Amino acid sequence: MSDVLPPVEADETESENRTVTRPRSKMMNDPVVRRMAYLAAGLVIVFLLVVVTALLTGVATPSGPRTLAEREVAVAGAAVQAGSTDTAVWGQYIAALIADKQYGRAKDFIAQGRESLDDSKTAEFSLAEARLYAGQKQYKKAIEAAEKTKKQVKDAFDARIAQGGMAKKAAELEGISSNYYDAILIEAGAYRSLKDWANAIAQYDLYIEGNGGASDILVDRANVKIESGDIAGAEKDFNEALRFVPDDPEALAGLKKIGVSK
Amino acid sequence: MSVGTDSVAPTPSSQATRSRRGRRILGVVLAVLILLLGLSSYFLYRMVTPVGGNTGGTAAVDDGGLVWVRSIYGKSDAPADQFDQTQGVASASDGSLWITDGGHFSLMHFTADGRFLGETKGPSDTPLQAPSRLAIGNDGKIYVCETMGDSLRVIDPSNVTTDAGSFNIPSPVSVAVSDDRIAVGAVSGFAILEKSGKPIKVFGSRGKGDDQFDYVHGIAFDEAGNVYVADSYNNRLSAYDKDGNRLWIIRTGKPSNSAEEVNDNLTVAEPTDAALKGKDALQLPLGLTVDGAGRVVVVDMYDCTLAVFNAADGSFVGKYGIEGADDGQFFYPATVSYDAGRDWFTVADGLNNRVQIVRIPGSAGGIGVAATVRRAIAGPLRACIYPFLLLLLAFIVWLVVRKRRQKRDRGHESTNIENGLTNLEASE
C-alpha cells in the first residue's frame, strides 16, 4: 500500500459536500478504503445470497440418500437406532459410516458397541477397527487389527470344535465366521497399499484356500502378481477367474494388460 | 479531501496517517474475509455435491466414459421409504422426476436434486394398480402403464384427485408421448394413438417373424415423429416413420425366446442375421429413449449397459456403463429417459433399487456455450444463479453511474472553459 494518498477527485469532493449532514467515519473519506469496504460488504452479500439460493432451489436439501454409502448409513443406522443388539447389524452400520467417510462417528460406535455388546465369537468390532484404520490409510494399524480379528474368530471357532457334541456339529455346519475372511481381505488390501506384494499375495492365498471360486479375488491376486513381476502367475489367475465367470470384464482387462488373449 | 462534518479540519498529515491505518486494517480484513468465504464456499459445495461414482477395483474396466451425476434411493432416510426395484422413471420439463417401483404402488415425484416432493396413488375411487413404465407429455400429463390392469392411465399432476382418463390396452409394457400422439408397447406389438386415445395404427402380432413382436419393452418418438421400438425377446430394434412405414430393423443379439433343448441342454443358436456379435451384441434390450443428438439409447438389462444406435440406420455407436452396485454402475436396469434441458439420462436401476442420473459422451443436442451452461446450472452451481444476476445488476448500475458522472464532469469542464474564455474576453 502506498504511503502517498491519491489526489482527491473533483466528484468525490462534490459528493462529500452534498452529504455534509451525514456523519461518516473519517477513514471512509479515503476512496481506497471506501472501495475496499464496499468490496467486503459485497462479498458477504454474495455469499449469503449463495446460501439462500442453495436452500431455495433445493440444491442443499435432498430428502433421501444420494449415494450408496448414504443409503447404507440410513438403512443400517435405522436398525441400530431401533435398539438392535445384533453385532452384525452394528458392524454393517459402522462399515457404512466408514464408507461414507464418517470416521469420528464410526469410532464412537465401535467404542459404544464394545461396551454394550458381546462380540467374542465374531470379533465384529475388531473387524470394524481394521476397516476404520484402512479407511484412514493407517495401514499398519489396519493389519494389526485384522490379525487380531482373525485370531479372535479362529480361537472362538476352535473352542466350539473343542467343546464337541452339538456345539462342534453346529460349528462345523456353520463354518468359521465370514469376518475371518473379511479381515483377510482388509489385510491384503493394506499390504497392497504398502506395496508389500508378497504378504498381500499370502493373504489372497489364504482367502482362496477357503473360497476357491472367488473369481473377483483371483483377479485381485492376479493384479498383485503383475505388480510383483509374476506375469505367468497372473495369467493363470485371470484364466482361473474366467473359468468361474466367463467374460468377466476385469479378468479380460487384466489379460489384455499383460498382452495375452483369452 | 473534504472536511465532512468536523468543525475543526484535521491536518493533511493526520488524515493521511488515519487513512493508511484504515487501508491496512481493511486490507487484512478483506484478505481474511476472502479466505473465510472461499473456505465456506468450498465446504458448501462439497456438502451439496454427492461423492460417488465409479471407483475402486473396477477402474480397469472400460465404461465408455459414462459420468455419474447422482443417485436417488428413496423418499427419506427411513428404510421403508427406500425404493424397491425401480421400474420406471420419466423427466418432466422442469427437470423433476416421476418414479415407480415395485414396493410403493404410487407415482413418486422428486426434484432433480433428489428432494421428495410428494406422491400420488391416483384418484381415490380409481387408484393406480401397480404402475410401472411411464412417460410425460409436454402438457405435463403423465401416462402410466398398468400392465396387470390392461390399461394406460393418464394422471394430471395438478389435479390428482380427479380421473384424467385411461385407455384399454392389453398388457402395456412401455409408453412414449409426443406433441400429438401416444405410442404404447405391448406384449405382441405396439400401437400409435391420438392424444384422445383413438388408434392411428396398430402393429404386429406375437411371434418371431419380421412383423411380429415379443414384448415391446421400449418405445420412443423422435422430434420428427418417427417411432423407435425395442422388441425385447426377439432382441431387435426397429424404426417407423410417422405414417407407420418401417425405416429399418436390426437384430441386436441372440433372441431370448429361441432356446432349444439339445442333448438335455437348453441352447440358443447363434442367429445368422444378427447385426451385432460378441461384446457389441445386446443381451436383453429393454427401455429406450432418443437423446439430444437424435441417437437411440437402449437399456441392455442383462449386460447392465446403455447401448447407443444411430437413428438413421440403426448402426451401433457404442456401449456405456458396467455392472455393479457402486454409484455409476448398473444392475438389471429397466428403463431410461432423457432430459434435453439438462443433457442427462435418468435410469431406473432396478435391482440396485435406485434411480441414477448419468451422462454419456455425445448426447447433447446443442454444442458450445448454451449446452455447457445448461449442464452447469443443472448441478450445485445452480446456487450461484441469483448471486450472479445480482453481480450483473451491480455491474450495470456501476457502468450507468460511471457514464453519468463522466457526462456530468464533461459538462463541468466545458462550463469552466466557457467561463475561462468569458473571463479572458472580459479582461482583454
Question: Which chain A residues touch B5 with a CB distance below 8 Å?
Answer: 20-24
pLDDT score of B142: 94
* Yes or no, beta carbons of B1 and A37 under 8 Å apart: no
**Chain B contact for A31, CB < 8 A?**
no
Give residue B363's domain range: 56-377
**Chain A contact for B354, CB < 8 A?**
yes
> 172-211 in A: which are within 8 Å (CB) of B?
none
* Yes or no, beta carbons of A20 and B113 under 8 Å apart: no
pLDDT score of A262: 61
| Total number of domains in chain B | 1
pLDDT score of B3: 42
The answer to whether residue A8 scores a pLDDT higher than 50 is no
**A5–chain B nearest CA distance, Å:** 7
**Residue found under cell 459404544:** A112
The answer to whether residue B10 sits within a structural domain is: no
* Yes or no, beta carbons of A45 and B390 under 8 Å apart: yes
**Chain A contact for B94, CB < 8 A?**
no
The answer to whether residue B427 sits within a structural domain is: no
pLDDT in tens, A16-63: 455 445 556 666 777 887 888 888 888 888 888 888 888 877 777 777
CA distance A38 to A20: 20
pLDDT score of B285: 96
Residue-by-residue DSSP string for A231-251: HHHHHHHHHHHHHHSTT-HHH
pLDDT score of B55: 39
Query: Is the complex ipTM higher than 0.90?
Result: no
CATH of the domain at B112: 2.120.10.30
**Chain B contact for A12, CB < 8 A?**
yes
pLDDT in tens, A61-95: 777 888 888 898 998 899 898 888 999 999 999 99
* Yes or no, beta carbons of B29 and A40 under 8 Å apart: yes
pLDDT class of A4 with cuts at 50, 70, 90: very low
Please check whether residue B307 is in contact with residue B319, taking contact to mean a CB–CB distance below 8 angstroms: yes
Of B27, B48, B76, the CB nearest to A54: B48
pLDDT score of A3: 45
The answer to whether residue B42 sits within a structural domain is: no
Q: Which residue has the higher pLDDT, A142 or B121?
A: A142
Of B6, B19, B81, the CB nearest to A27: B19
**Chain A contact for B396, CB < 8 A?**
no
Question: Which chain B residues touch A9 with a CB distance below 8 Å?
Answer: none
The answer to whether residue B263 sits within a structural domain is: yes
Q: Give the pLDDT mean for A215-223.
A: 95
The answer to whether residue B415 sits within a structural domain is: no
How many residues can be counted in chain A? 262
One pLDDT digit (tens) per residue for chain B, 428 residues: 444 444 455 566 776 777 777 778 888 888 888 888 888 878 777 777 776 665 333 445 678 889 898 899 999 988 899 999 999 999 998 889 999 998 888 899 998 888 899 999 888 888 888 899 999 998 899 999 998 889 999 999 888 888 888 899 999 999 999 999 999 999 999 999 999 889 999 998 999 988 899 999 999 999 999 999 999 999 999 999 988 899 999 999 999 888 888 888 878 778 888 888 888 899 999 999 999 999 999 999 999 999 999 999 999 999 999 999 989 999 999 999 999 888 899 999 999 999 999 999 988 866 667 777 777 777 777 778 788 888 889 889 989 999 999 988 888 777 777 787 788 777 76
The answer to whether residue B321 sits within a structural domain is: yes
**Chain B contact for A44, CB < 8 A?**
yes
Greatest alpha-carbon pair distance for chain B in Å reads 127
Of B37, B58, B82, the CB nearest to A75: B82
Phi and psi torsions of B57, nearest 5°: -65, -10
The answer to whether residue B417 sits within a structural domain is: no
The answer to whether residue B399 sits within a structural domain is: no
pLDDT class of A239 with cuts at 50, 70, 90: very high
> 31-70 in B: which are within 8 Å (CB) of A?
33-34, 37, 40-41, 44, 47-48, 50-52, 57-58, 60-62, 70
CA distance B306 to A247: 18
Q: Give the pLDDT mean for A184-200.
A: 96
Please check whether residue B95 is in contact with residue B87, taking contact to mean a CB–CB distance below 8 angstroms: no
Residues β-bridged to residue B335: B348
**Chain A contact for B138, CB < 8 A?**
no
pLDDT score of A21: 52
